Structure 1
């Protein structure tokens, strides 16, 4: 065999080995039409485009489980509302069976690549239900999320803050997995819905086939009151307001607000990794995200451009304070090389 042929074979083998050396990572996220679902899918595209990794995404997951899977090293990446690592760090809520000691250990295994607003929790109902707002929740059946997870916890808390009512005594709650959400909204199982929303929200838009809807803002006095101030102090919850005119809805949806502004609790989270992920991989993933915020992330859905991807101000990221998570060191390097400033408390 000639030296030219041998050299050619060697080059081909090296190229094949290089291609195979690209990382293969796993990721879990929520339904693919939600902000966390789209965010992880966009990351997989950005990582492939930049030659960082092949990310195998499993969508439609309950993020409570996904967060624990990353903490235990079973999954590489997951979308995570910040309330979940907070619960995990204390072994409470959906992680009560884990216990405080083990929960704190697992939460210490988690690190952030980048943050975003996952949703805004709100109340909506078909106009035919004759529910006039938060005062109409009492005694009704409310679809408030999947059987287990941050959305359910947030919905119960929002209803209590807005009305003083507890599930079971003040209203009946029903829980259905996200894959059945639109069907459940449409089939009359519930009188109203307290669910995470984007603007415009795909679940609301899909359910309009069964009738017109009204989305109800939190009352301004409740939003500015002491009780909601305490809610906004919970990790992963921030105050959110937006002009009704900017919410992106067309015919079939009415926004009920006393002054033309929609108000509610914003749920903030991140795409997270295990803290043991090597520096270079975490840096490259974060750099791929930063480079493709406009080209991939914002192009995925109308609501993605207002979901706070690329923000680093702790007023909207909700890093620091009682939030137990910090940015992965590789992510810190990527952000800073891209010209962003991260607060020291989040590093």
Structure 2
């Protein structure tokens, strides 16, 4: 995005709300603090209030499976979500099995995106002391690959199977533990390697690295470009992710090394965003997204991972099998600020 457009958006937004007192009261639900999901909505809560657009009562630490159903049913105004959840809701499967396909599809059709973020980037990493040689050196190893259940575990298992041709329980010993204990497990040295969705940086990367130097491996080019992986990365809530090795190295510091066949680090990301009900007032949605876009620089400066989680990439993970589309007023705000959003990503 061009700096002058961002400045213009900020000026226009502040002019619009100058001297205003927020009259609209909204409710919002998000994940626990510490990740891109929480930071995005916490920031929106702040700028919406200070600019006079809306007072948002934010509840964090919520189960997002329930949160987006609350938005779809009109019980909550805004919620964060990985985009796989609206997909499952639209089919009445998984955590939404009790809704059934018809009711699930009806509720999912009520959801509209307003802004994007990356929840985590799946890659392989290990302590240097473990002597791991990369993706082709995982057979027979102990690999921490997620919590006991859920999408992260499924994604990590699938990534290992597609890249390394190995199955959990047959070719390696998968280790699962709840998210809150992840950094402790890694620091214990019990797993030989780790495949998880992370941010650059996240506590599960920075805390264990205090106990020893670590290495992260890019997905091999052949595996990344394979038909199986390209198809997998197009699944709802997933998207290809690349970055220069140098930029990741700069963020992570001297305790980390990163390995790739060239200067690009390849992985896939879990994509999500904040959603509202399709019936939210157009002017309100436009104003909310406007003040959010105008303050993107501040948002990205609030966390070390702020530049890497796609806060300013509204097309990431959209269209295709993803049933979520942008609220028309949100899309208008993004487009007027100079961002590209394809028509397939905008609800009519």
In 1, Cα distance between the equivalents of 2:69 and 2:140? 35
Q: CA deviation at 1:297?
A: 1.0
Q: CA deviation at 1:74?
A: 4.1
Q: CA deviation at 1:320?
A: 1.7
Equivalent of 1:310, from 309, 312, 335?
312
In 1, Cα distance between the equivalents of 2:69 and 2:168? 27
In 2, Cα distance between the equivalents of 1:291 and 1:134? 41
Q: TM-score, normalised by structure 1?
A: 0.84
Instruction: Report matched runs for 1:210-229 at 5 Å.
Output: 210-229=211-230
Q: CA deviation at 1:88?
A: 2.1
Q: CA deviation at 1:143?
A: 2.5
The equivalent of 1:332 in structure 2 is 331
| SS of alignment partner, residue 157 of structure 2 | helix
The equivalent of 1:261 in structure 2 is 264
The equivalent of 2:26 in structure 1 is 24
In 2, Cα distance between the equivalents of 1:174 and 1:256? 24
Seen in structure 2, the aligned counterparts of structure 1 residues 297 and 127 have a Cα distance that, compared at 3 Å, is same
Name the stretch that deviates more: 85-94 or 36-45. 85-94
Q: CA deviation at 1:62?
A: 4.5
Structure 2 unaligned residues grouped into runs of 5+: 1-19
| SS of alignment partner, residue 161 of structure 2 | helix
Q: CA deviation at 1:327?
A: 1.0
Q: CA deviation at 1:97?
A: 4.6
| SS of alignment partner, residue 210 of structure 2 | helix
Structure 1 unaligned residues grouped into runs of 5+: 1-17
The equivalent of 1:201 in structure 2 is 202
Q: TM-score, normalised by structure 2?
A: 0.83
Instruction: Report matched runs for 1:170-249 at 5 Å.
Output: 170-247=171-248, 248-249=251-252
Deviations 1:51-91 (A, max 9, x none): 22233333344544433343344433222222222222223
The equivalent of 2:131 in structure 1 is 130
Structure 2 residue 253 is the aligned partner of structure 1 residue 272: no
The equivalent of 2:40 in structure 1 is 39
In 2, Cα distance between the equivalents of 1:340 and 1:127? 41
In 1, Cα distance between the equivalents of 2:116 and 2:196? 21
The equivalent of 1:300 in structure 2 is 302
Contact 2:40 2:299 in 1 (8 A): yes
What is the Cα-based RMSD across aligned positions, in Å?
Answer: 2.5
Q: Which runs of 4+ in 1 moved over 4 A?
A: none
Contact 1:78 1:273 in 2 (8 A): yes
Deviations 1:120-141 (A, max 9, x none): 1111122233332223333333
Name the stretch that deviates more: 235-244 or 175-184. 175-184
Q: CA deviation at 1:304?
A: 1.1
In 2, Cα distance between the equivalents of 1:171 and 1:109? 42
The equivalent of 1:3 in structure 2 is none
Query: How many residue pairs get matched?
Result: 325
